[in-house]
Structure 1
Amino acid sequence: MTTHTDSFYRHLREWFTVFMPRQRGVSPHTITACRHTWNMLLGYVAETRGVPLERVTFAIVDRVCVLEFLDHMRATRSWTGTTYNQRLACIRSFFRYAATAEPILAVHLADIIGVPQLKTVATKAVHYLTTGAVKALLAAPDLATKIGLRDQFFMILMYDLAARDGEMLALTVGDIDVRRLTVDLIGKGAKPRRLPITSETAAHYRRYAEVFHPEPAADQPLFYTIHGHRKTSMSDDNVGRFVRQHASRARESCAEIPEKVHPHMLRHSRAMHLYQAGMPLALITEWLGHTDPETTLIYAHADTEMKRQALAKASGGDTTSPPAIPMWHDREDIIRRLCGLTT
């Protein structure tokens, strides 16, 4: 007969070894952070409750215990509000998993949910470009040169997708489908996501491909440099260099360009512009490839028509020929692909 103690450690072991790495694809860094949290918590329980580690149960790790542990760590290790909330989220995540695996444990999850998060004050501002600054930046490359054509398409696609630098550099020719107007990205934790592009973005791609991929192969890196007569993925240092170079040039005609511009700013800018245009935060979270399960659940139940209206609202503005910013089309098939509703 399985005891409550056996159940606690069995679920904790399966959460670490099966659920997070295999079912959720959580990064090793996150798993390590969770291990540290639980090592500290179990050590605290053993010390303050006088319970040997092997006899710890769900009932012992209750709301009072967790709250006292978190407050103790704030006092002795100077945890910030952000660190406090991250550790609490890790503890809650395990209890949520255990309650799903063994519903009778839901009472313990309800108890832990009662531990409130701390209110935190954002200390790190999100730096982004105005829409005017983005247009000026995308217009800066010299399209009469091969490198200028490449740089412009890279920045257009990065902004359009709100992609990470690493996601862009990992793209292959086969990841872009100009017939279906989609791009497949691989995000953190090897999480794939498919995002829509417009016919205008596809037109930019065709011009780029004519020069850089005249004989395309699906496994070729989309953005590359030549080393030893071979195409190899372009480095993030190279991306940072040409973004700064074009920002400096664009600043001569657009005072809205800040002194320091980096590639990730294009991702922040797209996300901010979509939010300002009325796109719900849950959808933006999914768009950006974040993996919080509660946010994803909210997104999954969001109304399809709301998504269509948000995308349509975001498409306002100049729709002239290149180098104008690619805008979303109000197309049901694109939205359904974005929402994962296709069969």
Structure 2
Amino acid sequence: MCTIPLKRAAKTTVIKFFSEAALKTILEQPDTRKKKELRNLFFMILMYDTGARNQELLDLKLSDIHFEGKSPYVVITGKGRKTRLVPVMPKTVDHFRKYAAVFHPEHTSDDYLFYTERKGRRFAMSPDNTERFIKKYGVAAHNVNPEVPESLHCHMFRHSRSMHLYRSGMPMVLLAEWLGHAQISSTLIYANADTEMKKEAIQKVTSKLNPLVSGETTYLEWEDDEELIRQLYGLSR
């Protein structure tokens, strides 16, 4: 006997992201009077604005920064060594200038944008370094604003910027290109996440008295009523 195999349900990818109000609280945490915290603030701003992955940002060199003119952008090298041009906001350029004045007063194009110094030499920052200070700011921000996720990490900046752009009307195809996704299917997680949020919002505002929630729906008892059936079918005068 042949049996038809059941189709496996597609797994829904759950993404975690923060609101724009939460972002504001996060960016208020660094004490920019301290050199490293000035760097950390600019790192988070650039990470959010570009939607870049942690390693993509750490790989940036000054030659990848093009902030002159009316259309500033960053050249990001993603997976498979593919590059993409990502525009940035004017405020991001302002923060870059403050950062560069301290960290790159005499710069060369081969310098890493973000670096650490050991014995007078500059090296690219490690992913562990960035994850560490972002987690620290996340804990501090959550204590101020519960909207900030309890466990903040670098990739959440990418997810959050993507969700904010999607909700603002950026077409999915353009969002996929902006993120550097080879397949648009990878970008659909943001549409799925938005649908889930709408569903949760609807459930929260739907009264418990609503028959779709309570299940207390009254149906016509007509199954055994021969006269009513005849009327419905126009057989009775």
TM-score scaled to structure 1, two decimals?
Answer: 0.50
Distance in 2 between residues matched to 1:286 and 1:144, nearest whole Å: 37
Aligned to 1:258: 149
Q: Does structure 1 conserve the Cα–Cα contact (< 8 Å) formed by 2:176 and 2:184?
A: no
How far residue 293 of structure 1 moved from its aligned partner, in angstroms, is 7.9
Aligned to 2:51: 162
Instruction: Supply the RMSD in Å over aligned alpha carbons.
Output: 2.1
How far residue 121 of structure 1 moved from its aligned partner, in angstroms, is 3.1
Aligned to 1:230: 121
AA at the equivalent of 2:125: M
Aligned to 2:10: 120
Matched, 1:173 2:62: yes
What SS does the corresponding residue of 1:259 show, helix, strand or coil?
Answer: coil
Matched, 1:138 2:27: yes
Aligned to 1:150: 39
How far residue 126 of structure 1 moved from its aligned partner, in angstroms, is 0.2
Alignment CA distance shift 1:293-1:198 (3 Å):
closer
Structure 2's unaligned 5+ residue stretches are 187-237
Alignment CA distance shift 1:169-1:141 (3 Å):
same
What SS does the corresponding residue of 1:184 show, helix, strand or coil?
Answer: strand
Aligned to 2:194: none
Distance in 2 between residues matched to 1:293 and 1:271, nearest whole Å: 13
Matched, 1:207 2:92: no
How far residue 141 of structure 1 moved from its aligned partner, in angstroms, is 0.5
Aligned to 1:243: 134
AA at the equivalent of 2:78: G
Q: Does structure 1 conserve the Cα–Cα contact (< 8 Å) formed by 2:75 and 2:86?
A: yes
AA at the equivalent of 1:172: K
Aligned to 1:191: 82
- The CA deviation string for residues 71-91 of structure 1, in whole angstroms up to 9 with x for no partner, is xxx99xxxx95xxxxxxxxxx
Query: Which one of 165, 168, 172 corresponds to residue 274 of structure 1?
Result: 165
AA at the equivalent of 1:275: Y
How far residue 135 of structure 1 moved from its aligned partner, in angstroms, is 1.1
Q: Does structure 1 conserve the Cα–Cα contact (< 8 Å) formed by 2:172 and 2:184?
A: no
Query: Which one of 216, 220, 223 corresponds to residue 111 of structure 2?
Result: 220
Runs of 4+ deviating beyond 3 Å: none
Structure 1's unaligned 5+ residue stretches are 1-73, 82-118, 296-343
TM-score scaled to structure 2, two decimals?
Answer: 0.72
Distance in 2 between residues matched to 1:172 and 1:279, nearest whole Å: 28
What SS does the corresponding residue of 1:214 show, helix, strand or coil?
Answer: coil
Distance in 1 between residues matched to 2:26 and 2:113, nearest whole Å: 21
Distance in 2 between residues matched to 1:178 and 1:146, nearest whole Å: 22
How far residue 248 of structure 1 moved from its aligned partner, in angstroms, is 1.3
Alignment CA distance shift 1:188-1:194 (3 Å):
same
What SS does the corresponding residue of 2:144 show, helix, strand or coil?
Answer: coil
AA at the equivalent of 1:255: P
How far residue 284 of structure 1 moved from its aligned partner, in angstroms, is 0.7
How far residue 260 of structure 1 moved from its aligned partner, in angstroms, is 0.8
Distance in 2 between residues matched to 1:163 and 1:260, nearest whole Å: 19
How far residue 294 of structure 1 moved from its aligned partner, in angstroms, is 9.2
For residues 90-101 of structure 1, what are the structure 2 equivalents within 5 Å? Answer: none
Instruction: Report which of the two structures shows the higher radius of gyration computed on alpha carbons.
Output: 2
Report how many aligned residue pairs link the two structures.
Answer: 181
AA at the equivalent of 1:188: K
Q: Does structure 1 conserve the Cα–Cα contact (< 8 Å) formed by 2:62 and 2:113?
A: yes
Greater per-residue helix proportion: 1
